[in-house]
Homo-oligomer: A and B are copies of this chain.
């Protein structure tokens, strides 16, 4: 509420007088002759409504606005300067490809850019709130000129700019150093630039024909990832496929849907059984249902108290399933569970998969990033024995959403599973090497370009940069763990140093500390995290996730994946929990 009101922010859609713009533009005092570029403009301040209308209409009259100095700009790389533009009389139809649409287009985009760079800047400023919470009905009713309803008639570009600003204002700053709510957090500047570019290129990963550079970047990046997994020479296959979490679409692809099942469907197959940890991501079960395996045929494996699969339990369940005459098909080992951050013992699971000839998938959506760290990659030992691996750089590695890779050891299997050879896309008679037309490998036809931001970040940081990022986040979670493990008012959900950045804990308000164990304490404790979380959101100071797990009542799950986080932010979180929870 105390945030500075931007110049056009105060404007209500149509009624109030057009507010002043903070107008400026540069003055020409020379030119960089070397580049044959002449720069001109002038500083002005001119806010009268009549004058602004005149400027706007002059755009539509296809004349150079009279109050701008004419600017000979022969250089094709000429840069646009922001000028005072009245957007209240400009509409989408005045922008490119409209005749004389270039100037208003550039001014509009510069204005948008200004909104975005201000947002970025403030996101890193700890005096900015993480969120400005409102209930759905409040936003639906409309907030001071921010109206979500769509209408038949166009709105002015001024209103569109207000809408952009307000959309950010009432959203959540996932890049804020005190946003700990999801596995994905942070706002990487290089990644952001990469996403902007991707949006501007506005193409699709179908074919080399329409995404030549991106297709090659994907190929090279996937090879590097396979090298880090440890597959010989980085051989194999893979693709980036949308879907957060252990990514259902990636999962779909990883299932060996070859041969009879692809053609005849599941009802022709024996009853196929999949195995995954009771702590594994719910997307595994979801995929099982969607793919027609059925939820009942996804068997959950028991874990130790740290949330790691017990290999003996896997073997016992395989044997039991076989005795019933069903067909064990697939084991998912999780490298970094969602809540505990547990790493299943991949080598022991791989031994069992080899013994019974099962497909081994490693879900490294959250934990895969640790492969970049010489210090932590041992937690995934055995990953090179997997048939397929999921790895989401948008989680632990701070790549903007979304960026999820599925990697498979055997070349050609993706094509074999998913290819339907659509003639109108994947013509064999092209002039270039059509093995680069990767679209047919994916289960969905078109794919958003998720590679560029990741490739650009890798270029800009180097492998060592990702390693530093991973190590730093794990150090911060160790700091948190050490800070609270013996602190009064805290109980850890599981004992010992977490394997990943996940630190799971209960905060016990003073009023509950002396209560005897039992249902009443459990019930009261179950309500503590939700209440604290609600207050955090109302005050907008920080956000952290909570959930129950098994028979454990609601607890906080703290994770760190944002490189903007410092120890002081960890301290702040603890202080805030205590401040808000003290009287519960």
Contacts A23-B32, A124-B96, A193-B164: A290 and B170 contacting too (C-beta < 8 A)? no
- A452 CA / B112 CA spacing, docked (Å): 14
Kindly list chain B residues whose C-beta atoms are within 8 Å of the C-beta of A3.
76
Contact of A152 among B174, B209, B463 (CB under 8 A): B463
| Residue A401, interface by CB 8 Å | yes
Contact of A423 among B95, B527, B549 (CB under 8 A): B549
**What distance in Å separates the Cβ of A131 from its nearest Cβ neighbour in chain B?**
8
Contact of A154 among B271, B272, B296, B460 (CB under 8 A): B460
- A566 CA / B247 CA spacing, docked (Å): 42
**Contact A266–B244 (Cβ < 8 Å):** no
Interface residues on chain A, size class:
35 or more
Contact of A202 among B22, B30, B401, B459 (CB under 8 A): B401
**Contact A30–B4 (Cβ < 8 Å):** no
**Contact A4–B77 (Cβ < 8 Å):** yes
Q: Mark A124-153, 1 if CB is under 8 A from B, else 0.
A: 100000000111110110000000111111
Instruction: Tell me the residues in window 190-205 of chain A with beta carbons closer than 8 Å to chain B beta carbons.
Output: 190, 192-204
**Contact A286–B436 (Cβ < 8 Å):** no
Contacts A150-B458, A154-B465, A418-B290: A175 and B202 contacting too (C-beta < 8 A)? yes
| Residue A92, interface by CB 8 Å | yes
Contacts A209-B172, A210-B182: A265 and B263 contacting too (C-beta < 8 A)? no
| Residue A157, interface by CB 8 Å | yes
Kindly list chain B residues whose C-beta atoms are within 8 Å of the C-beta of A444.
242-245, 247-249, 283
Contacts A97-B124, A292-B292: A267 and B264 contacting too (C-beta < 8 A)? no
| Residue A12, interface by CB 8 Å | no
| Residue A109, interface by CB 8 Å | yes
**17 contacts across the A-B interface (CB closer than 8 A):** A4-B76, A7-B35, A23-B32, A93-B465, A109-B113, A113-B196, A151-B462, A167-B197, A167-B452, A174-B201, A204-B244, A242-B444, A245-B445, A265-B271, A286-B420, A338-B424, A431-B533
